[in-house]
Amino acid sequence: MSDFFSLSLSNPGLLGLAGLMICGVIAWASGLARLISAGNRAKFQRSVILAARSLWLHKLRSFLSVLGIIIGTAAVISLMGFGKGSMQDALADIKRQGATNIIVRSVKPPDDSFTASRGFVSNYGLVQKDLDRFQTFGDAISMTVPMRVFPTETRYLDRMINGRVVATVPEYAEVNKLEMASGRFLVGGDDVERNDDATMLNVCVLGAEAADKLFPFENPIDQSVQMKSMRFKVVGVVKERMPTGGTGGSLAAEDYNRDIYIPFKTSVARFGGIIFTRASGSRSAEKVDISQVTLTVDAEVDSPAGRAKVQAIGDEVKRILEEEHYQKTRKRDYAVTIPLDRLEEAERSQTRFTNLLVVIASISLVVGGIGIMNIMLATVTERTREIGIRRALGAKRRDITMQFLVEAVVQTTIGGLCGVILGLSNLFTLPFLAKWIASEKLPAEVDVRAIYLSVIVSIGVGVVFGLYPAWRAAKLDPIEALRHD
Amino acid sequence: MPAIVRIVDLVKNYYMGGAVTVHVLKDLNLSFDEGDFIALMGPSGSGKSTLLNVLGCLDRPTRGRYFLGEVDVSEMSDDQLSEVRSTYLGFIFQSYNLLPQYTVVENIELPLLYQGIKLDERTKERCIELAGMVGLGDRLDHRPLQLSGGQQQRVAIARSLVNDPHLILGDEPTGNLDSRTSVEIMQMLRGLNRAGKTIIMVTHENDIAAWARRVVRLRDGRVESDTRNDTRVMAEMN
Ligand SMILES: Nc1ncnc2c1ncn2[C@@H]1O[C@H](COP(=O)(O)OP(=O)(O)O)[C@@H](O)[C@H]1O
Ligand SMILES: [Mg+2]
């Protein structure tokens, strides 16, 4: 609704149209009020019934003349529905990433000269110290989840999977909304720091596909897999995870199902403080301390204050990193992603889409309205004699105006309702068709605002475009009209 | 008897394009009594229909006064004229002028729609009663096109009575009917007149005019003659 008005106010053409509609509706309402205040509700009801009957008399004609309204309304309902659906889909995707998260990743700096001077080994990215710096946010951050990600071959018997090892902390499950297929995720006890037991446990949790590949037949829980030369006990298997969309932002689409999770501290102890990776066939190697840190801000996504808080902390994180990394080393070896940015981007594009729809809808409804007006004018000519008869029998000019106006409005209202039904049935059937024929996902969501808006606008179109023909009918001279044949 | 219709120096001109003026009614002075049955006669183009339209408040005189009862209606607004038609007048037309999409009962009911009274079972009963009175009690749900000309005109008569008018106006009500049916219709009008309704009827047939009590002949927009039919002759006709 607010989109509609904000757009109208910024666009003179639409402003005019909206003004016209509002005038029409006011004229209509005042006529209505007069009729009803004159104690004539029965008369009004009757004129609606009579209008419906005279439309029924020319079914095909009435149908064809409201076809524009039907199609326009149906298009608005379905497009708004699909727009809202894909918006919600995008939202769900963003929420999967955590809408109040701030994701800081290590990235290889674009500057290559540095790499060359250090003998093909580039050392970059986030370090343990950065984690300590983030501690200054205190309670504003409800969770800090560091990750070290590196590729490793993992074996069980003769089976092998070449996936990523993700070394992280137990909160990872919460931040990423992981669900367990069996067993448990990493818990505090796995981690030396949180466990009084000083032995660093060699435990791991398998992604769904990793579990499938390594243990196609056996129950993986309590089995041992081998990484490098170390054995890790499987304590859990994660349910299949939806990949996050790669759209917008700098996060690439990732497939998490081949990941194997191990405790952060364990990885530091077993694989060394710095991850050293060497892509096969490449002469360069990389050293990264921490691959990614996810900070969860303690805020409500749906409140403006919450959003502002996320943005503020995001800015602060960027500032700290700028200071500590860029200003000291002259290289930008980190990237900060704020999923909320994508959320807001998605909302903005949704608004643009809605506005565009309003424009298209207005055009199609004006076209539909002209169709109605055309037919109404023809009807008035055709029924000139009827108008004369009614006038002779005591009808006032405004009775005639009302009769034709009611006819136009009944027509467009029914047209609008048919359009709503058609639009809704599109929303319910097309996603199935899309899945069935093209196996495409077509998210749809009913937008109630669109329904109200289309019905109200349909009524408005009836008033605006029925007014002129009705006025023409009322203006006819009774005698001339009676002589007409 | 008090005059129900009184016209004083009534002039009706039609202004055609340019300076051409058609003088249709020229300083007419007429007065009709309540309860009378008047036939307006005269050759084609003499201004009968024009006069009847003015009397029926469908048209306004160019000059002069028209008193309906005590009220001067010559200066009334369009809405007021509609109200007068709705409350005091009943019309019967040559070509019946029923609405084809409505049934007999609905056609009879039509004038009530514009009276601002509530249409309910009582008004419907009254319409059915009127339909019975004009002999169409078994045709209530028929449409005009399913009826003969005489039957249609009887529906029109019932319709003209539904608002209990003071004055019934007919422009050649038998003009489209054969002589036998014409007689039926005239008998019906005479019955209404006997029951106290004032009727003004245009006709160019002497046979039809003979049913009236008073005959006014027009020629070129003036009254040529104004006579009373011999009541004894009328008695014989019955
Ligand atoms: N709307 C009009 N415009 C111009 N002339 C008219 C109009 N209506 C009637 N007349 C003229 O007025 C005269 C009387 O017409 P009318 O009253 O219909 O005659 P009649 O006695 O046959 O009913 C005719 O000459 C006709 O041409
Ligand atoms: Mg005539």
What is the per-residue pLDDT for A32?
A: 62
Structural domain contains residue B117 = yes
Q: Which pair of tokens denotes residue A441? A: 């996902």
Structural domain contains residue A383 = yes
A35 pLDDT more than 70:
no
Phi, psi angle pair for B89, to nearest 5°: -120, 150
The strand pair at B89-92 and B71-72 is best described as unpaired
Query: Based on the domain organization, do A179 and A56 belong to the same domain?
Result: no
Interface contacts (A, B; CB < 8 Å): 65
Number of structural domains in chain A: 2
A203 pLDDT more than 50:
yes
Least confident of A87-101, A374-388, B196-210: A87-101
B202 pLDDT more than 90:
yes
B66 pLDDT more than 60:
yes
Q: Is B77 in the pocket of ligand 1 (CB under 6 A)?
A: no
Angle between the N-to-C axes of helices A384-392 and A397-438, in degrees from 0 to 180, rounded to the nearest 10: 140
Which amino acid, residue A407?
A: E
Query: Based on the domain organization, do A401 and A477 belong to the same domain?
Result: yes
B83:A42 CB<8 A? no
Cα(B155) to centroid(ligand 2), Å = 22
Pick the closest to residue A429 from A416, A418, A442 (CA basis).
A442
Nearest chain A CA: its distance from B143 CA (Å): 13
Q: What average pLDDT does chain A have?
A: 81
A139: containing domain: 101-298
This prediction has a pTM of 0.73
Provide the 8-state DSSP code for A322: I
What is the per-residue pLDDT for A197?
A: 43
Whether the Cβ atoms of residue B89 and residue B167 lie closer than 8 Å to each other: yes
Structural domain contains residue B1 = no
pLDDT top residue among A135 and A188: A135
Which of A149-153, A259-263, B147-151 is modeled with the greatest confidence? B147-151
What is the per-residue pLDDT for A6?
A: 41
A274 pLDDT more than 80:
no
Cα(B44) to centroid(ligand 2), Å = 7
A21 pLDDT more than 80:
no
Strand partners, A308: none
Number of structural domains in chain B: 1
**Contact residues for A67 (Cβ-Cβ < 8 A; gap 6+):** A368, A371, A415
Distance CA A13, CA A16 (A): 5
Instruction: Give the ipTM of the model, two decimals please.
Output: 0.95
Structural domain contains residue B228 = yes
Look-up of token digits 């009575």: B161
Residue that finishes a domain, picked among A298, A321, A338? A298
Structural domain contains residue A325 = no
Query: Based on the domain organization, do A262 and A371 belong to the same domain?
Result: no
Hey, how many other C-beta atoms are within 10 angstroms of the C-beta on B212? Answer: 25
Query: Based on the domain organization, do A107 and A206 belong to the same domain?
Result: yes
Distance CA B123, CA B112 (A): 8
What is the per-residue pLDDT for A270?
A: 82
Query: Based on the domain organization, do A12 and A142 belong to the same domain?
Result: no
- C-alpha to C-alpha distances, B189 to B93, B131, B209, B230, nearest whole angstrom: 13, 15, 12, 18
What is the per-residue pLDDT for A120?
A: 59
B163:A394 CB<8 A? yes
Tens of pLDDT, residues A104-123: 988 887 765 554 444 556 67
Which amino acid, residue A335?
A: A
What is the per-residue pLDDT for B153?
A: 96
Element (H, E) at A288: strand A285-288
Q: What average pLDDT does chain B have?
A: 92
A322 pLDDT more than 70:
yes
Under the banding of pLDDT at 50, 70 and 90, the label for residue B128 is very high
Structural domain contains residue B70 = no
Query: Based on the domain organization, do A77 and A129 belong to the same domain?
Result: no
Query: Based on the domain organization, do A141 and A173 belong to the same domain?
Result: yes
Q: Which of B12, B58, B176 to mutate to test the interface with A (most CBs of A within 10 A)?
A: B58
Query: Based on the domain organization, do A355 and A284 belong to the same domain?
Result: no
Pick the closest to residue B147 from B162, B160, B131, B133 (CA basis).
B131
Query: Based on the domain organization, do A150 and A164 belong to the same domain?
Result: yes
Which amino acid, residue B36?
A: D
Structural domain contains residue B31 = no
Ligand 1 atom with the smallest distance to the CA of B48 is 21
Structural domain contains residue A50 = yes
Structural domain contains residue A44 = yes
What DSSP assignment string belongs to B25-60? EEEEEEEEETT-EEEEE-STTSSHHHHHHHHTTSS-
Ligand nearest to the CA of A478: 1
Tens of pLDDT, residues B4-59: 999 999 999 999 888 899 999 999 999 999 999 999 999 999 999 999 999 999 99
Structural domain contains residue A319 = no
Residues A404-412 have a mean pLDDT of 92
Tens of pLDDT, residues B155-180: 999 999 999 999 999 999 999 999 99
Residue A393 at interface with chain B, using a CB cutoff of 8 Å: yes
Which of A70-79, A382-391, A447-456 is modeled with the greatest confidence? A382-391
Pick the closest to residue A426 from A67, A69, A73, A74 (CA basis).
A74
Structural domain contains residue B210 = yes
Structural domain contains residue A51 = yes
Ligand 1 atom with the smallest distance to the CA of B171 is 23
Structural domain contains residue B2 = no
Provide the 8-state DSSP code for B176: T
Structural domain contains residue A271 = yes
A367 pLDDT more than 70:
yes
Structural domain contains residue A124 = yes
Dihedral angle over CA of A97, A98, A101, A106, nearest 10: -10
Under the banding of pLDDT at 50, 70 and 90, the label for residue A199 is low
Whether the Cβ atoms of residue A94 and residue A346 lie closer than 8 Å to each other: yes
Tens of pLDDT, residues A282-316: 555 677 788 889 998 888 877 888 888 998 999 99
B128: containing domain: 36-58+78-236
Pick the closest to residue B214 from B203, B64, B222 (CA basis).
B203
Least confident of A464-478, B115-129, B189-203: B115-129
Residue B14 at interface with chain A, using a CB cutoff of 8 Å: no
Question: With contacts defined as CB-CB under 8 Å, which chain B residues touch A44?
Answer: none
Tens of pLDDT, residues A135-176: 888 888 888 898 988 888 888 988 888 888 898 888 888 888
Structural domain contains residue B147 = yes
pLDDT top residue among A377 and A330: A377
Pocket test for ligand 1, best of B16, B49, B95, B220 (most atoms within 8 A of CB): B49
Query: Based on the domain organization, do A61 and A116 belong to the same domain?
Result: no
